[in-house]
Structure 1
């Protein structure tokens, strides 16, 4: 089997493809979409809302996903695609690609340069390769079974800072979290702000996870996530030597960590009891609420 992605697309004859080659496919996919997205950044664009005013989508989210999907299906029409915008597109579930065409759409739409394209691939229920690309900074994070990489160089997360010197990246509480958890959410955020050296809301879960892998932050949590948000980045954290723990909240525990609606990711050696306590509190509240219903 031969493959050359940029100049000539060659169909894979079967789905028995190594994680290393799947990583190459993911890299090419995010670069293709990244070139398009970068050209559109800070230009006039059509912005709409999905669930509410906090959940934005642009014409470029859909176009980016189309670029990636068409590229993947030209390589192998049997592959299954799960995209944020277009959902599930058929195929054999043996190989499933999770696509976030622009993770951090609100940042992208408002001209904030913290967004990425994320593509992760699952084989027989396990994430085996992925790529996360910030086209603005030209930072390409990737992983397969050989390790994690940043722009092709092996990536290893350094030891975490002590809590009072550490930085936490979090999307919690989101508007949805406030609806579900009420004042408890703001109380918990206050505790985290007081305990950590700095707490930041970045707007991109995938890039936040990659920052843990790179050692640019010490921890990140999220409680309103989807498989396409974390499929690639969770593997990057793990292969870089950090930890990624799924938080199942109101869902039944499943086989793949990327299917959980929440997560906590830590740099090596992190010891943050308060963070773990708050994660546990959120999980227990959501489970009690589900049981009542």
Structure 2
């Protein structure tokens, strides 16, 4: 019988894997690299994405034998044990490929459909965000997101509208983006959803909106935000969703007590369009 590691043990395994991959990425950052495209010119991948994932996977399987791995680059592999890992070897590949220091390594552990441990590691800043049943942590110290600022003083991080949003939604997406720019003190497009949500958890920004994400993008940072006392609202485009919030294709992430009616209106409009 395979024993399921505790949440704390899974967090420790994830931290080791993320730090090891992060050390590799820091060493090759801003060096020569081969850049390919997956779906289109907006969706980059480098040899370092693949190399980073191949560093992470053996460490996870060593720490939790029989685990199932769901990775952005390698797809689904591994065994059928009680632990499923969601990994993004470089969240923010476009930034990494272009020399912008806003990217991260993401590792999250799921047990019985629930995310129980997660790590987001920023290798350039050397900041490790983590969460488990024990709480949320930044570089090993307890992390509490704190109260949100009012909209006129607050910052929103978002990738919306993406090129695909513009193709699907047309002028409506631009109008909604304009309303967000008009409402918040500042709106930033940073290029890494996982690191953006982690910054909300740290209290370095007040909110984040994502309209097209995968589980490996958000599973770890969602848990970090929730354990830090923030609010994670999944955006479901299926009227009968199943599974945990990390499986939703969109999200709104907020510091404690945030009330942003315009952000709520925009997120509802996105959901309504996706449901068609």
1:239-254 equivalences in 2 (<5 Å):
239-250=227-238, 252-254=240-242
CA spacing shift, 1:202–1:82, aligned 2, 3 Å? same
| 1:165 is the counterpart of 2:153 | yes
Tell me the alpha carbon deviations over residues 156-191 of structure 1, each in whole angstroms, 9 at most, x when there is no partner: 011000011100000100111111111100000000
What does residue 283 of structure 1 align with?
Answer: 271
Name the CA distance, whole Å, in 2 between partners of 1:252 and 1:54.
30
Q: Is the 8 A contact 1:251 1:260 kept in 2?
A: no
Name the CA distance, whole Å, in 2 between partners of 1:15 and 1:59.
35
What does residue 211 of structure 1 align with?
Answer: 199
Q: For structure 1, which runs of at least 5 residues remain unmatched after alignment?
A: 1-12, 289-293
Runs of 4+ residues deviating >4 angstroms = none
What does residue 262 of structure 2 align with?
Answer: 274
CA spacing shift, 1:276–1:106, aligned 2, 3 Å? same
What does residue 70 of structure 2 align with?
Answer: 82
Computed over aligned residues only, the root mean square deviation of the Cα atoms, in angstroms, reads: 1.1
Tell me the alpha carbon deviations over residues 200-230 of structure 1, each in whole angstroms, 9 at most, x when there is no partner: 0000000000000000000001011000001
Secondary structure, counterpart of 1:237 in structure 2: helix
Q: Is the 8 A contact 1:98 1:120 kept in 2?
A: yes
What does residue 62 of structure 1 align with?
Answer: 50
Name the CA distance, whole Å, in 2 between partners of 1:180 and 1:94.
38
1:85-234 equivalences in 2 (<5 Å):
85-92=73-80, 94-234=82-222
CA spacing shift, 1:284–1:228, aligned 2, 3 Å? same
Secondary structure, counterpart of 1:122 in structure 2: strand
Q: For structure 2, which runs of at least 5 residues remain unmatched after alignment?
A: none
TM-score of the superposed pair, with normalisation by structure 2: 0.98
Tell me the alpha carbon deviations over residues 240-280 of structure 1, each in whole angstroms, 9 at most, x when there is no partner: 00000110124741221000100001000100011001100
Higher mean Cα deviation, 100-109 or 73-82? 73-82
Name the CA distance, whole Å, in 2 between partners of 1:184 and 1:115.
29
Name the CA distance, whole Å, in 2 between partners of 1:93 and 1:218.
37
TM-score of the superposed pair, with normalisation by structure 1: 0.92
Q: How many corresponding residue pairs?
A: 276
CA spacing shift, 1:185–1:93, aligned 2, 3 Å? farther
Secondary structure, counterpart of 2:82 in structure 1: strand
Q: Is the 8 A contact 2:153 2:184 kept in 1?
A: yes
